[in-house]
Structure 1
Amino acid sequence: MTDPLRVLILDDDFRVGELHRAIIDEQPGFIALEPVRSIAEAREAIRTAHPDLLLADVFLPDGDGIALVQDASVDAVLISAADDAPTVRRALRSGALGYLLKPFERRALTGLLDRYSRYRNILAGDRPVRQDDTDRALAILHGSGEPVSVSRSATEQLVLAALGDGEASAAEVGERVGISRATAQRHLASLAARTVVEVRLRYGATGRPEHRYAART
């Protein structure tokens, strides 16, 4: 089983930090670390807890969240009410993977987390990557031009497209789409319950039969 991705939240408003923490903890495949409220606390948490993703405000009591992102060796997204173009450009120059403007709808954050998980899945491990792997990972991360509030139905459409005219296992679908096997399985099960796809069993010489999925015509 793949370990959940660990997210560190940096926001000087504890209510905002706890709100984001609750959203992250409800997202499959993610776990929120204890939120921090200052640059100093964030640096210590990065050093000791090794988060996979940092969600950082821009203006903190003891410094600049963008400068922290530039210095820290961790994937990061800036979340701020600062809506001026120079701040956004500076955030992206720092190496941030994205920028969310406050206030935002819940689905904006869940959509971003979903895409980040798929991005990480494509670029997992130490294996060499091809150019199309890189292109696909970046397209997924940035939503291929779609807003960060991409809905679950969009992921289901990708799952259906991955099935095509043939059949595939959840693991194969996950590999094609760039999502985890568990996420692909969840979407396939939902589609099967609505009779959008059908489930077929493939029996091998030993062990349990493999579940195969095919789109209904």
Structure 2
Amino acid sequence: MTDDIRVLVIDDDFRVAGLHRDAVASVPGFTPLEAVHTLDAARQALRAHQPDLLLVDAYLPDGDGIRFVADTERDAFVLSAATDAVTVRRAINAGALAYLAKPFDAVALVDRLRRYARMRNLLGGDAALTQERIDRALSIMAGGAEPATVSRSATEQLILDGLGDDDEASAAEVAERVGISRATAQRHLAALATRGQVEVRLRYGTTGRPEHRYVRVGKR
């Protein structure tokens, strides 16, 4: 299993920072660090904890959060009450992967975090990426539909790659890793199983029907 994605919340409002941190904690695969409330504290946290993702307010007591995003060159979302086009464009130009206008419901942040995890999974590692994989990753973070250029074979290869890290996974887990719907993952997994490229195993719980688990043939 991969390590959790470590998230640092940077917001001068203690209550709001706590709400954002709680939202991060609610998403499996994410670990929130202790929230900080100034850019100086954020710089110290970066050195000490090396977070993977920053959730940054645009305006902080000791400086410009958007400039901080640009300077750190680290994955970041900007969360701000500012809705003017200039500020939003600045955040995009600084490299922000998402911009959420306050106030927003926690479900909106959770949604962006889940998209980020799927995008990060697709872009992980050092190997060369296909155009289909790049398009899929960008589409996921933008919240758009799956690119029409992604072929069945490309989707199935992504699924096989998603099964490469762990011994076995459910269709829902594969869907989350690869960035597709559960129904799409289930359909392709069934086709792969028919061709002998994945093996289907059953996991029995205390009640209900057994869960189907999938493992890539040749993997342990």
Spell out, residue by residue over 1:185-208, the C-alpha distance to the aligned partner (whole angstroms, 9 max, x if none).
Answer: xxxx9xxx7x8x973899x9xx9x
Offset from partner CA, 1:4-35 (integer Å, 9 cap, x none):
00000000011111111111112100000010
Residue 219 (structure 2) pairs with residue 199 (structure 1): no
Equivalent residue letter for 2:26:
E
Q: Does 1:159 align with 2:182?
A: yes
Give the direction of change, closer, same or farther, for the CA distance of 1:56–1:168 in structure 2 (3 Å limit): farther
Deviation readout 1:95-139 (Å, 9 max, x if unpaired): 111100000111101100000000000011111111111110000
Q: Pairwise mapping of residues 40-55 of structure 1 onto structure 2 (< 5 A)?
A: 40-55=40-55
Q: Deviations over 1:37-89 (max 9, x none)?
A: 01111111112211110000001000000000000021000000001011000
Return the alpha-carbon distance in structure 2 between the equivalents of residues 201 and 56 of structure 1.
39
Secondary structure of 1:199's match?
strand
Distance in 2 between residues matched to 1:20 and 1:40, nearest whole Å: 20
AA at the equivalent of 1:199: H
Distance 1:161 1:97, change over 3 A: same
- The normalised TM-score by structure 1 is 0.72
Q: TM-score, normalised by structure 2?
A: 0.71
RMSD: 3.0
Partner of 2:61: 61
Secondary structure class of the residue paired with 2:144: helix
- Flag structure 2 segments of 5+ consecutive residues without an equivalent: 147-171, 193-203
Which string of whole-angstrom CA distances, capped at 9 and with x for unpartnered residues, describes residues 158-182 of structure 1?
Answer: 110222266179xxxxxxxxxxxxx
Residue 178 of structure 1 aligns with which residue? none
Note the C-alpha offset of 1:145.
Answer: 6.3
What amino acid sits opposite 2:83 in the alignment?
D
Instruction: Provide the rounded CA distance (Å) in 2 between the counterparts of 1:18 and 1:166.
Output: 40
CA distance in structure 1 between the aligned counterparts of 2:89 and 2:64, rounded to whole angstroms: 15
The residue aligned with 1:8 is: 8
- Structure 2 CA distance for partners of 1:200 and 1:67, relative to 1, 3 Å: closer
**What amino acid is aligned across from residue 95 of structure 2 in structure 1?**
G
Q: Which runs of 5+ in 1 are unaligned?
A: 147-151, 170-188, 208-217
- Equivalent pairs, count: 174
Which runs of structure 2 are paired with 1:14-29 in the superposition (5 Å)? 14-29=14-29
Look up the SS of the partner of 1:67 in the other structure: helix
Query: Counterpart of 1:167 in structure 2: which amino acid?
Result: A
**How far apart, CA to CA, are the structure 1 residues paired with 2:56 and 2:62?**
13
Structure 1 CA distance for aligned equivalents of residues 214 and 56 of structure 2: 46
| Identity fraction in percent | 48
Q: How does 1:125-204 map to 2 (within 5 A)?
A: 125-144=125-144, 158-164=181-187, 167=190, 199=212
- 2: CA distance, partners of 1:69 / 1:88: 13
In structure 2, the residue matched to 1:180 is: none
